[in-house]
C-alpha cells in the first residue's frame, strides 16, 4: 500500500476572506492559484457562505480545502488552507485577525466600522500572513505594528481628509503665532 508523504511547508494559508451577512465579498486575499480567476473565486466564496452561514461550527471541509470561520454581528471571517493543513494553525490565524481587528475597531467589529478602517485591515492581514506563510499570531504585536506603519504613511498615500486635516492644523498654528 502506497502512502502519500507530504513535505512540510510554511505555505499554510491559501486565502483570507471576509464577507458580509449577504455573502458579498468585503475582503479577499488568495495566496495561490487554486482559484485563478475572480469568477472562480466568487463562486467558491458563494459556496463557502452557503455552507457556513447558518451553522455554529467553526470548521468545514469544502472542495478539498479546510475552512475555519467565525461570524460576528454582520461579518463572516474565513481562513482557508489545504485539506491536510493543521486546523489549529489556521484557527490561530483567524483568531489573531479577529482579535487584532477587535482592538483596532475598539470592539466594534461590524461592517460599517470595518469599511471605515479598510487600510487597517489590509495592514493587519499583511502582518499576520505573507504569501501564505504565517508570520504572526499575537494580536498585540499586530496592532502595535499596524499603528507604527500607519504613523509613517507618506504624503502620496494619505487620504484627502488626512491632508486637509493636517493643512487646517498648520493654518491654525500659524494664525495663533
CATH 3.40.50.720 assigned to domain 13-150? The reply is no
Does this model's pTM top 0.85? no
- Mean pLDDT (the chain, rounded): 86
Distance in angstroms (rounded) separating the CA atoms of residues 55 and 62: 14
Distance in angstroms (rounded) separating the CA atoms of residues 148 and 57: 35
Domain spans in the chain, listed from the N-terminal domain onward: 13-150
Phi-psi region of 90 (alpha: psi -120 to 50; beta: other; left: phi over 0): alpha
- Residue 119: Cβ-neighbour burial (10 angstroms; 0-12, 13-18, 19+): middle
At residue 124, the pLDDT reads 93
Least confident of 16-30, 64-78, 160-174: 160-174
Whether residue 93 is predicted with pLDDT greater than 90 in this model: the reply is yes
Strand partners, 70: 77
pLDDT one-digit tens code per residue, 118-128: 899 999 999 99
pLDDT one-digit tens code per residue, 39-71: 999 999 999 999 998 887 899 888 899 999 999
Mean pLDDT of 89-104: 93
Check: CB of residue 124 under 8 Å from CB of residue 146.
yes
Percentage, residues of the chain above pLDDT 90: 51
Distance in angstroms (rounded) separating the CA atoms of residues 99 and 132: 20
Amino acid at each position: 500500500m502506497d502512502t502519500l508523504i507530504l513535505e512540510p511547508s510554511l505555505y499554510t494559508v491559501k486565502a483570507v476572506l471576509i464577507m458580509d451577512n449577504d455573502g458579498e465579498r468585503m475582503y479577499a486575499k488568495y495566496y495561490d492559484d487554486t482559484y485563478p480567476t475572480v469568477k472562480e473565486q466568487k463562486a467558491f466564496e458563494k459556496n463557502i457562505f452557503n455552507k457556513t452561514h447558518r451553522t455554529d461550527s467553526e470548521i468545514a471541509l469544502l472542495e478539498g480545502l479546510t475552512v475555519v470561520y467565525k461570524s460576528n454581528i454582520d461579518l463572516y471571517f474565513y481562513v482557508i488552507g489545504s485539506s491536510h493543513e493543521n486546523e489549529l494553525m489556521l484557527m490561530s490565524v483567524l483568531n489573531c485577525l479577529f482579535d487584532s481587528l477587535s482592538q483596532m475597531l475598539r470592539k466594534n467589529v461590524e461592517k460599517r466600522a470595518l469599511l471605515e478602517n479598510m487600510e487597517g485591515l489590509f495592514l493587519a492581514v499583511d502582518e499576520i500572513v505573507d504569501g501564505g506563510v504565517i508570520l504572526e499570531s499575537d494580536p498585540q504585536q499586530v496592532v502595535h505594528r499596524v499603528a507604527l506603519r500607519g504613523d509613517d504613511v507618506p504624503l502620496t498615500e494619505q487620504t484627502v481628509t488626512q491632508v486637509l486635516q493636517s493643512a487646517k492644523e498648520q493654518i491654525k498654528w500659524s494664525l495663533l503665532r
